[in-house]
Amino acid sequence: MDKPLLHIISHTDLDGVAAAALAWHVHHHDRLVRISLTGYGDVDMLILETLAAGQEPLVLDLFCQREQTVDEIDKLWNDARRPFLFDHHKSTFERYGNRKWAVIDTNYCGALVYWRWLRENAKDERTQTVLAELEPVMKIANDRDLWLGEMPESRLWQALVTMCGQWGMLARLMDNPRAELSPVELAGAEEFTERQEARFALAKEHIWRSGSELAFVCDGVLEYGDVSDFCGLILDRDDNPPEVAAVAAKRFGGDWAVSMRSRDGLAGRVLALLKDGKKIRGGGHGDASALYFPRNYTQEQMRDSILAAIRVEKERNAAPKVTIGDLFKGLV
């Protein structure tokens, strides 16, 4: 082959799906393409596997979780080559903003970061045509991922990702890259959001509230895809909004995923405090992040861990010498 196989590695939400669809439309005409839609737990392994196999990675809306992965990429990557990783998460920028193989811009979602880079660097007519065709979808993904709330259709698109799955919507965008929803898609998405409102009402009745600091929703109340909308509802419309909203979900492998949302970057700071890259993993940016706890944790322990980290952040400004151990003592 003239070009090595291209391995597109992207996230499973609307942003990740849109980014993967863009990459496929740009590259599939002249090379073999493999696509992996995955989460933070597997991205390191996929990157290293791809590099070891002599294939070319293209990582979108994700970043490595382990220092060893970054060190290995630094050894293998030739600075003369084009960057292969496009992300937007604040925690990524703060740790790895100077890597030549990464393009990180916190002002846009991952898909739009890649779209903008292509617009500046890929001048061939075919790529420019693809960029123009997919620009409306990129803007919808951006509105959704950055919580701008300026495009009502972004919630409908995310509903379709939830109902049809990331692979179903990726196939749709491969076949039809237009942003306009068909009558069937529109009806299904609107029906889903109506049922979603009923789940939101139930979730409000089952929140573990820790004063004004944390609203924690236990597993089994919300469905995948509900998290951003529900947390936005709690953070923006509640009469007494919490500083952090968190939703727990038991994953099929037995471990836990806890999605966190905030409005002043606190979720990202909690992530930075609790993530150790071994027992507790995670990723995200300032106001939207996720922690992955081992299966032996209880929901109470996860809630208390997050609450302790919130209190550390609050105490840091007033009393920098307070440690997370001190705050855990207060919870016991």
pLDDT tens column, 243-261 = 999 999 998 888 899 999 9
- Residue 323: HSE in the Cβ half-sphere, 13 Å Cα cutoff: 3
Task: Count CB-CB contacts under 10 A for residue 164.
Answer: 16
The pLDDT-based confidence of 326 (bands split at 50, 70, 90) is low
Place of tokens 């998405």: 189
Higher pLDDT, 185 or 316: 185
Q: What's domain 200-318's superfamily in CATH?
A: DHHA2 domain (3.10.310.20)
Contact by Cβ (8 Å): 139, 112: yes
- Phi–psi pair at 256, nearest 5 degrees: -115, 145
Give the SS3 label for residue 215: strand
Look at residue 235 in the predicted model and tell me its pLDDT: 84
- Residue length, the chain? 332
Look at residue 321 in the predicted model and tell me its pLDDT: 54
Look at residue 328 in the predicted model and tell me its pLDDT: 63
Look at residue 133 in the predicted model and tell me its pLDDT: 97
State the first-to-last Cα distance of the chain, in angstroms, to the nearest integer.
Answer: 62
- Phi–psi pair at 207, nearest 5 degrees: -85, 135
DSSP 265: S
Distances (CA, A) of 238 to 80, 155, 259, 262: 51, 20, 19, 13
pLDDT tens column, 169-194 = 999 999 999 999 999 999 999 999 88
Q: CB-based contacts of 201: which residues, under 8 Å, 6+ apart?
A: none
Q: Is the pLDDT of residue 155 over 60?
A: yes
Look at residue 142 in the predicted model and tell me its pLDDT: 95
H helix runs in 146-226, sequence order: 153-175, 183-205
Q: CB-based contacts of 317: which residues, under 8 Å, 6+ apart?
A: none
Higher pLDDT, 27 or 42: 27
Q: Give the integer Cα–Cα distance in Å for 49 and 151.
A: 38
Look at residue 330 in the predicted model and tell me its pLDDT: 59
Amino acid 234 reads I
Look at residue 299 in the predicted model and tell me its pLDDT: 93
Higher pLDDT, 175 or 74: 175
pLDDT tens column, 28-48 = 999 999 999 998 778 999 999
pLDDT tens column, 200-237 = 888 888 899 999 999 999 998 887 678 877 887 888 77
Q: Is the pLDDT of residue 290 over 80?
A: yes
Longest dimension (CA), the chain: 63
The pLDDT-based confidence of 148 (bands split at 50, 70, 90) is confident
Q: Is the pLDDT of residue 160 over 90?
A: yes
Give the SS3 label for residue 285: strand
The pLDDT-based confidence of 319 (bands split at 50, 70, 90) is low
Look at residue 285 in the predicted model and tell me its pLDDT: 66
Amino acid 265 reads G
Look at residue 302 in the predicted model and tell me its pLDDT: 95
**What's the token pair of residue 195?**
């049922």
Q: Give the integer Cα–Cα distance in Å for 38 and 141.
A: 17
Contact by Cβ (8 Å): 138, 26: no
288-293 vs 256-262, strand pairing mode: antiparallel
pLDDT tens column, 88-135 = 876 666 777 678 899 999 899 999 999 999 999 998 999 999 999 999
Amino acid 201 reads A
Of 56-65, 100-109, 140-149, 210-219, the poorest mean pLDDT is in: 140-149
CA dihedral 105, 110, 116, 117 (to 10 degrees): 80
- Dihedral sign for Cα 102, 265, 159, 36, please: positive
Q: Give the integer Cα–Cα distance in Å for 93 and 325.
A: 28
Beta bridge partners of 259: 247, 290
Cα–chain center distance at 14:
9
